[in-house]
Every structure is written in C-alpha cells, then in structure tokens.
Amino acid sequence: MDLTAWLAAHGGIAHRSDAAAHGFSPRHVRAAIRAGDVRRIRAQWVALDSAPDDLTAAAAASGRLTCVSLARRRGWWMPDRVDAGLHLQVGANAHRHRDDARLHWGAPLIDRGARELTASVEDALAHIAVCCSHEEARVIWESAIRVEGLDVEALRLVRWRDQRSRGLADEVVGLSDSGLETIVVVRLSGWGVPVRQQVRLAGRRVDIVIGSHLVIQIDGYAHHSSSAQRGSDVAHDAELRLRGYTVLRFTFGQIVHDWPKVERTLQAAIARGLHLPPGRRT
C-alpha cells in the first residue's frame, strides 16, 4: 500500500509519526509531498486534498475539534440556531491567527495526545456547557448520551471544572428520544408540575407525561415515514383517550418555530386540569 492509499484508509489525514510507524519513512513522505500526492500541514501532519476541512483546520492550528464542531462530527443533534463555526481545543502552542475559529484554551480533562485531532467527549461536553445557552447545551448533552451510550451516573463523577458543566451533569437524565423532546422538557421544567419522559402507557412508550394524565407526543422532522406507522400512532392515541388520558401532538415546526402557541396550548390544558386524573378535574 502506498502513502496516498494508506491516508485514504485513515480519513485522509495523519500524524507523520503514525505514518512512520506504518513503514512510511520521512524520505518517503517528503517525496510524496514534493510530487504533490499529499500536502504537509505544519510540521507533523500530512493530508490528501480530500481530507475533511475541519480536521485539516485543527491540524493547522495545533488544536483538536471540540464543542459543537465535535458534536457535529459525531452526529449529536443540535438546534439549528447553534453556532456553525469551527471550535478548537488548543494549548499554549496554538496558532492565534485563526480568526475564523472559536478557540477553547486550557488544560483538557482528558489529554488524548499530540496525534489526535478530536477532543474527548468529556472535553467537548464541558466546552458546550460554557459556549452554548443552557437549553442548547442540555439538548446536545442529552443527544450525546444517547449517541455515545454514556452512563449518566458516570458523567456525574467526572471532575468538571466549571459550575455549568457540573449543573448539566446533575440535570441530564438520558431519556430523551430526540432533541425536540429535550427542548420541551427544559421549557416545562419551571412550571411546577411533574414532567416525566418515555413513560410506558397502554403497551407503548410516550414521549412526555405532564402530571399523571396529559400526554405529549412529538412528531419530529422525519416522523411518520409510513402510513402504517401513522395508523399505529392514531390507534394508540385512541386507546389512551379511552383510559382517561388527554393526548396532544406537536410537530417539529410547531416546537421550533411557533413555541408561544404550543406553550399557550399546554397552559390551557393544565388550567383545565387535564394533567390530573379524570376524577380530580372538577
């Protein structure tokens, strides 16, 4: 295997020490650079032209992808309004000329070594906690728990260095089925009524239960991809109503773009006692 094929198999970019460990001598690497087959990024990295822009930017800045940049790369769900720019974890040797990046300075929680271009999950979560609003950070943390299979209790044992990270570690529950669900839960958290997630009722889980009998179902952006799924949802809603529950469904667009109307609907339902057992609504 030549150097370009090896790089292609390793994401398009690699530390020169890793290349040497796989049999590519410094002379071999220099020849590939002169021939234009690969490009040098600072002193220690080589990359193909097809290498991901975020990783080559991290290498050029002597940093690692972190915060929402790592969240995006790892597929954590984020609200649309979250900053889409480049976020890098950097140390004292970082190049300060990157005006297009948000730099996160300081010692990492987990030092992954000089050959890594991505921060640890824990460091990314810590940076998200201080870089994003509380709601945005909670949404991303809950998604990270789901995507990465993180243990909530283990997260609480991390030696977080700031109060916002410690607060989020205490707050997350790891139950959200979607980012939309987390948004709704966060916005209801100060209302003074019990809010539970992923409760099993009539043989299926529902997204949110307010009080004991007000069920909130969230139809996400890609929800109901088939008529069979829609039919199953309608049948379950009917069964819940027969058992005395009130079921309210909201779409992605309503929650993201028309929250005041959703909020008014929920407030009206609670004012009418629909979150209480049927016998206590009068």
Q: Are strands 63-65 and 86-90 parallel, antiparallel or unpaired?
A: antiparallel
Tens-place pLDDT, residues 84-137: 899 999 986 666 556 778 999 889 999 998 899 999 999 999 999 999 999 999
Domain limits for position 164 = 58-171
User: Strand, helix or coil at 158?
Assistant: coil
Same domain, 18 and 109: no
The conformation of residue 278, written as its DSSP 8-state character, comes to G
Q: Which pLDDT value is given to residue 97?
A: 58
Please provide residue 14's backbone torsions phi and psi, each rounded to the nearest 5 degrees: -155, 155
* Count of C-beta atoms within a 10 Å radius of residue 201: 16
Rounded to a whole number, what is the largest CA-CA distance in the chain?
A: 84
> Is residue 222 scored above 70 in pLDDT?
no
Sign of the four-CA dihedral 205, 150, 84, 134: positive
Whether the pLDDT of residue 22 is over 90: the answer is yes
Cα angle 68, 74, 75 (rounded to 5 degrees) comes to 85
Last residue of a domain, one of 113, 142, 171: 171
What's the pLDDT score for residue 1? 74
Considering the domain architecture, whether residues 80 and 165 belong to the same structural domain is answered as yes
43 and 91 both lie in a single domain = no
Give the total number of structural domains in the chain. 3
pTM: 0.90
- Choose the weakest-confidence range: 54-68, 183-197, 212-226: 212-226
17 and 66 part of one domain: no
Of 35, 51, 67, which closes a domain? 51
CATH number for position 203: 3.40.960.10
Q: Provide the angle, in degrees to the nearest 10, between the axes of the packed helices 259-271 and 179-188.
A: 50
Q: Please write the tens of the pLDDT for every residue from 38-80.
A: 999 999 999 999 999 999 999 998 899 999 999 999 999 999 8
